[in-house]
Amino acid sequence: MSDIIIDVQNVSKSYGGVKANTEVSMQVQRGGITGLIGPNGSGKTTLFNSIVGYHPIDSGSIRFEGQEISKLPVQKIARLGLLRTFQQTRIYGAMNGVENMLISLPHRKMSLLDALKKNTKEDYERADQLLDFVGLYEKRMLKSGDLSFGQQKLLEFAMALMNEPTCLLLDEPTAGINPTLINGLIDRLKRPTKNLALPYSSSNTTCA
Split into its structural domains, the chain has a count of 1
Using CA atoms, how far apart are residues 173 and 170, in angstroms rounded to an integer?
Answer: 6
How, if at all, do strands 198-202 and 33-37 pair?
A: parallel
pLDDT given at position 204? 54
Amino acid at 87: Q
Q: What is the DSSP string of 14-44?
A: EETTEEEEEEEEEEEETT-EEEEE--TTSSH
Residues 6 or more apart whose Cβ sits within 8 Å of residue 181: 150
Residue (of 122, 92, 90) closest to 106 by Cα position = 122
Q: In the prediction, which pLDDT does 97 show?
A: 95
Tell me, what's the pLDDT at 107?
55
Write the CA distances from 196 to 64, 77, 90, 181, integer angstroms.
13, 16, 21, 23
Regions of the chain where pLDDT drops below 50: 112, 115-116, 205-208
Q: In this predicted structure, what is the pLDDT of residue 10?
A: 97
For 167, the domain range is 4-207
| pLDDT recorded at residue 117 | 63
**84 Cβ partners below 8 Å, 6+ apart?**
48, 51, 52, 160, 168, 169, 170, 171
Q: Give me the pLDDT at residue 34, please.
A: 83
Q: Tell me what pLDDT residue 112 has.
A: 45
Q: Do the strands 67-68 and 59-64 form a parallel or antiparallel pair, or are they unpaired?
A: antiparallel
pLDDT at 206 (0 to 100): 46
Supply the CATH number for residue 183's domain: 3.40.50.300
Question: For position 114, what pLDDT does the model report?
Answer: 55
pLDDT at 207: 47
